[in-house]
Copies of this chain bind each other. A is one copy, B any other.
């Protein structure tokens, strides 16, 4: 049985509360008393019982992060950054994996969590809009899409603008038949919709026609989906001269298909992705992409949560929408 305040108090010859005060750094404790208590703490190896503390204070020091899947480099990176940012506030992060399943996401939002958490950072995949209203009062920060007037705070880049930047980069290189890989019909696939919108906007801007045959759907955003989509494009009557993939994994998959078929990149077909995952910096050819400011996304998400959790005046208030910058990164896959 681990020692409690009680045991430390007995050993130091003070009251339980005095030990508690020492532990919590309360100012008005005589130096001599403090030293005696500290010694007792060391001697007994006392560690505060978090469960009890949480029971009293209602705070657990744990925030949950819900992502579709950790295996995806982009989410892994974001998760790592959020863990780091949370650490700076002495929070620990509990990771929920939704696998993009609507049911799991709904449970999350309904507050059917098994564990008590102070806040939730959530990157929804299957749910969108009003369905995301968190039932219990747990503060939530949404990640990764721009849902205007959504029910919760969220942090995101301007997906549409970023997609337009990517596409514009291709048009500026003189490409005329630019395909898009990653189109998704589901109404909840907001990210895909926004990137498609940006793509179309940039095409229109360049005076290029929107060709439905160039808008290739993908079940998921993985390499295999990208590889399959690219194969479909190459087998078509009139292949493209450039491809905008809605994320880097799709692009890497596409790249693989291109190279294994002997299509040279970027000479025959230029490829650009989205996310700037590390893989793209070392692939062959290296991958041009849109780089969201991921460290900032993580930091802002944690900060926003902290604000809601604080007792200050900012705790309440209307949902806020924070936009994070993105950059176009040009590498070999568009400019060999």
Interface residues of A (CB under 8 A from B): 2, 45, 47, 49-52, 54-55, 60-62, 69-71, 73, 76-77, 79-80, 83-84, 87, 90, 92-97, 111-112, 114-116, 135-136, 223, 227, 252-253, 255-256, 259-260, 278-279, 281-284, 286
In whole angstroms, what is the CA distance A60 to B50 when docked?
Answer: 10
Taking the full assembly, how many copies of this chain does it contain? 2
Residues of B within 8 A of A45 (CB): 111, 135-136
Within 8 Å by CB of A50, from B71, B115, B281, lies B115
In whole angstroms, what is the CA distance A51 to B71 when docked?
Answer: 30
A110 CB to nearest chain B CB (Å): 9
Docked-complex contact B90 and A80, CB < 8 angstroms: no
In whole angstroms, what is the CA distance A111 to B260 when docked?
Answer: 51
Residues of B within 8 A of A259 (CB): 284
27 A-B pairs (CB sep. < 8 Å):
A2-B136, A45-B135, A47-B112, A49-B116, A50-B114, A50-B115, A51-B51, A51-B54, A51-B55, A51-B116, A61-B114, A61-B115, A62-B115, A70-B77, A70-B80, A71-B73, A71-B76, A73-B73, A76-B79, A79-B95, A83-B97, A92-B96, A93-B94, A94-B95, A252-B279, A255-B284, A279-B279
**Which 5 pairs show the lowest CB-CB distances between chains A and B?**
A76-B76, A70-B80, A51-B54, A50-B116, A256-B282
Residues of B within 8 A of A76 (CB): 70-71, 73, 76, 79
Docked-complex contact A253 and B282, CB < 8 angstroms: yes
In whole angstroms, what is the CA distance A135 to B76 when docked?
Answer: 30
In whole angstroms, what is the CA distance A76 to B70 when docked?
Answer: 6
A69 CB to nearest chain B CB (Å): 6
Within 8 Å by CB of A93, from B54, B95, B227, lies B95
In whole angstroms, what is the CA distance A80 to B69 when docked?
Answer: 7
Tell me whether A52 and B55 are in contact in the complex, defined as CB-CB below 8 angstroms, given that A71-B278, A283-B283 are known contacts.
yes
Q: A49-B55, A62-B115 are in contact. List 7 more A-B contacts (CB 8 A).
A: A70-B76, A70-B79, A70-B80, A79-B95, A92-B115, A227-B282, A256-B286
A292 CB to nearest chain B CB (Å): 15
In whole angstroms, what is the CA distance A259 to B282 when docked?
Answer: 10
Residues of B within 8 A of A73 (CB): 71, 73, 76
